[in-house]
Amino acid sequence: MLQKQLAKHIGDHPMPEYLKDFIKDVDKTYSAYEKEREHVKDLEKINRDLDQFAYVVSHDLKAPLRAMSSLVTWIQEDSGAFVTEESKENLQMIGGRIQRMENLIQGILAYSKAGKSKWEKVQTNVREVLHEIIDSSNVPKHFTIKNKVTVSDLMTDKIKLSQVFANLISNAIKYNDKDAGEIEIGSNEYDDWCQFYVMDNGPGIEKVYHEKIFMIFQTLAARDEIESTGIGLAIVKKIVEDQQGKIWIESQVGAGSRFVFTWPLSKASTTHQVL
């Protein structure tokens, strides 16, 4: 393309070989750029289509689920004392399955949106964020939570960071099998990154499942034992990686779990607070 344009200007004059090679390189680079731009356009269209699909599926599935839930409630109210204990249990089971489906739909929508919204950096006091999450997590009385985070103020997306912590803390509570549950949240700083961790004294996870748990719809406990959509950790992974961070688990059966993730360290203040 560039070679043809130059040929019009230089006429019959011979073109130096080095210039020919340079022009070829420029043309190749431009061609690669054009292909990349087309790929970006295609990906943008696919993302728009997926968002629309997720919205339509959610809307179309929620309506019949709400109708089913109302129908179960009406049957329970109208039947009263005439319903056997077995029938009551079956109706409760149906209601539970409906609620699980609604949670799953909400989880799918949350997963499809994770990482797509624009990051809005604000001055965020990490310790205060954790206190707010813990206060709103309905922590059972037999749990002790230690906040050992030493990072105070960061310029970051408060909502996204809160999502990550809320999911990890919720999981640490939900899957703990001890009479005295223990959770510790801490941090370490490395150059431009901060490494956070959420550690518990729960049952632990076999190494073979350390990667699987971050995949969507994956859950190790039976859903009849512990209600879970298997989407929470997949959302966490997506948010962290969108920040160019990493998340992993350090755990073994019977020794609890330690979820670790890295986050950009953009300071809003140099003040540090230690518990």
- The count of structural domains within the chain is 2
Give the number of other CB atoms < 10 A from CB of residue 96.
Answer: 13
Average pLDDT over residues 167-191: 90
- Please give the distance of CA 222 from its chain centroid, rounded to a whole number: 22
Q: Residue 273 domain-assigned? A: no
- 155 and 253 share a domain? yes
- The CATH code of the domain that includes 228 is 3.30.565.10
149 or 27, which is more confident: 149
- 126 and 238 share a domain? yes
Distance CA 102, CA 52 (A): 18
Whether 247 contacts 196, CB under 8 Å: no
Instruction: Out of 96, 113, 130, pick the residue that ends a domain.
Output: 113
CA-based end-to-end distance of the chain: 65
CA angle 86, 87, 91 (to 5 degrees): 120
Could you read off the pLDDT of 18-64 as tens digits, one per residue? 666 666 776 777 777 777 777 777 666 766 666 666 666 666 677 77
DSSP assignment letter at 193: E
Tell if the pTM clears 0.85, that is, is over it: no
Q: Range of 242's domain?
A: 122-264
Distance CA 21, CA 5 (A): 15
| Size (the chain), residues | 275
Distance CA 163, CA 150 (A): 19
Instruction: Out of 63, 96, 113, pick the residue that ends a domain.
Output: 113
- 72 and 164 share a domain? no
- 108 and 150 share a domain? no
How much is the mean pLDDT over the chain? 77
Distance CA 57, CA 104 (A): 12
